[in-house]
A = this chain, B = another copy of it.
Amino acid sequence: MTELSGQTQDPLKAGGMSRIQEKNRSLILDAALGEFSKKGFSGATVERIAADAGMSKSNLLYYFSSKEAIYNATLAHILEVWLAPLKTLRPEGEPASELAAYIRQKIEMSATFPEASRLFANEVMQGAPQILPILETELKRLVAEKSQVIEDWIAAGKMRRVDPVHLIFTIWATTQHYADFSVQIRALTGRDLSDPDFFEETVSSVTSLILNGAGLVWPPENGLAE
């Protein structure tokens, strides 16, 4: 296992790709996400990924030079999407609506891409062998930036004094929990985020807990104030 941050693992990813290449790489990445998220890196087999993608193992290895390369590509493929919601926190917005929107987005991600969440969780739990450099640079920068936004809201008296980093961790933890532990949640409640009612119930419960926890008014009063 080596790094993934820098250039592309396998060449010709970005630039010129024949239709067939494009299609096959995409099929492989989809299959790989399923496999890796279900079995973890070690538990996944190249053979099964290839079968899921509808091709021979040899052919898969024509597109990606090794199992690790597939894994890294899958991770990279997800990562941006997975971290995107945090970027949408707007300093000009009101904390309540901004945080509520962020939480909803995160839960939507958990509902729509639970495999991505599990893959990410798996990677981090194993010590983040591939993405540690990214966590330490890009993500750290992003968290610092958004912490400052929250800090400013606090300084402006718009919300209770809470540690911004722990607030972010709490949001990550709760929202991702519904994807990562969906089996447990289904065992306990009989439902999960794929059920629209349960989805809304979850958004509502988590949002109200965290926003009220941060000293914000939620749900917003009838609205016509100010």
Contact = CB atoms under 8 A, between A and B. Distances in A.
Number of copies: 2
Contacts of A113: none
A178 B43 CA distance: 25
Contacts of A42: 39-40, 42-43
A174 interface: yes
Given A39-B126, A40-B42, A170-B209, 15 more contacts: A40-B122, A42-B42, A118-B125, A139-B187, A162-B209, A166-B201, A167-B209, A169-B185, A170-B177, A170-B206, A172-B177, A172-B181, A173-B173, A173-B174, A173-B181
27 contacts: A39-B42, A40-B42, A42-B43, A43-B126, A121-B121, A121-B180, A122-B122, A122-B125, A124-B183, A125-B180, A125-B181, A132-B187, A135-B184, A135-B188, A160-B212, A162-B205, A163-B201, A163-B205, A169-B178, A170-B177, A170-B206, A172-B181, A173-B173, A173-B176, A174-B174, A209-B213, A210-B213
Interface of A: 38-43, 118, 121-122, 124-128, 132, 135-136, 139-140, 143, 160, 162-163, 165-167, 169-170, 172-174, 176-178, 180-181, 183-185, 187-189, 201-202, 205-206, 208-215
